[in-house]
Amino acid sequence: MVKKKIEDLLVTGNQRLNKDYFILTLRSGDPLPAIFPGQFAELRVNHAGDTFLRRPISFYDVGREHHEIRLLIREVGSGTRQLGMLGPGDTLNMIYPLGHPFTMVDGKEFLLAAGGVGIAPMLLLGKTLKQAGKRPVFLFGARSKEQMFDLTEFEELGEVYITTEDGSMGKKGMITDHPILETGNFDGCYSCGPEPMMKAIAKLATGKEIFCEVSLENMMACGIGACLCCAQPTVHGMKMACVDGPVFNTKELLW
């Protein structure tokens, strides 16, 4: 297992995507440890008043050559809002790499279905799949166009399908309404986002008898398996989202 580290990384960029989303670019002084898609980091939030715990954020992209990490973050409260105020020259303390990543399995074509900030782990996953000679197909959902952002990086990796609840971009409706789910010939699915969406994708995968992994967003405190707060009931008993997950095969979950 890769040794976890606590490190101050240099913020080299903060790209605002829309009102709620931003991408932090961080640089380490050392070569990065092995980081796999679906893994996450626990970020320390300074000066956010009375927030106390770190914020678990999954890896959006990793650039090994320049020791660079990118994190896609959505502002949901005072902690993430404070992270959104970081800029070039600031440092960000994080514990990483954490968690059990997505699994690479046999097959050619894979559906990567994500809603909201669940999109975050899908870039690194898509890149990893493509490097392994597989075909990632992205299906992303959002409330409206305002909640979406430039998806060029995903488009470079494979087809991208969009749904919005108000129809302002892509197909109107939920991810689970998109016809690609029926017409696509997938060998497996990966999903991250709201639980009803992941459950629907899991059900679809079960029906088609294909591989399916989801990344859960259980509330976490420590991120390293000590506090036992992010419990997830599974067929193998109680598991911890931070060390046994956040990625689980849906066959393991009691859904």
Partner 1 sequence: MVDLQVNLGTLSLKNPVTTASGCFGYGSEYTDFMDISRLGAVFTKAVTRENREGNPSPRMTETPSGMLNSVGLQNKGVDYFINSIYPTLQQYNTVFIANVSGSTLDEYVEIAEKINALPGIPAIELNISCPNVKKGGMVFGTNRKSASEVIKAVRKVYRKILIVKLSPNVTSIPVFAKTAEDAGADAISLINTILAMSIDAEKRKPVLATVTGGLSGPAVKPVALRMVWEAYHSVKIPVIGMGGIRSVSDAIEFMLAGATAIQIGTANFVEPAVSINILEGIGKYLERHGFSSVRELIGNLEMPEGFERFRPKTF
Chain residues that interact with partner 1, rule: CB under 8 A:
3-6, 44, 50-54, 95, 218-233, 237-238
Closer residue to partner 1 in complex, CB, 91/103 = 91
**CB neighbour list of residue 161: distance below 8 Å, 6 or more residues apart:** 137, 138, 139, 140, 170, 171, 178, 180
Is 63 in contact with 72 (CB distance < 8 Å)? no
**Cis upstream peptide for 246 (omega within 30°):** yes
- What is the smallest separation between the CB atom of 176 and partner 1, expressed in angstroms? 23
**Cis upstream peptide for 97 (omega within 30°):** yes
**CB neighbour list of residue 242: distance below 8 Å, 6 or more residues apart:** 56, 98, 99, 220, 222, 223, 224, 225, 230
- What is the smallest separation between the CB atom of 77 and partner 1, expressed in angstroms? 9
Closer residue to partner 1 in complex, CB, 105/219 = 219
Closer residue to partner 1 in complex, CB, 77/88 = 77
Closer residue to partner 1 in complex, CB, 148/240 = 240
Q: Of 190, 188, 238, 189, give the one whose Cα is nearest residue 218.
A: 238
Closer residue to partner 1 in complex, CB, 137/220 = 220
- What is the smallest separation between the CB atom of 80 and partner 1, expressed in angstroms? 12
- What is the smallest separation between the CB atom of 73 and partner 1, expressed in angstroms? 17
- What is the smallest separation between the CB atom of 39 and partner 1, expressed in angstroms? 15
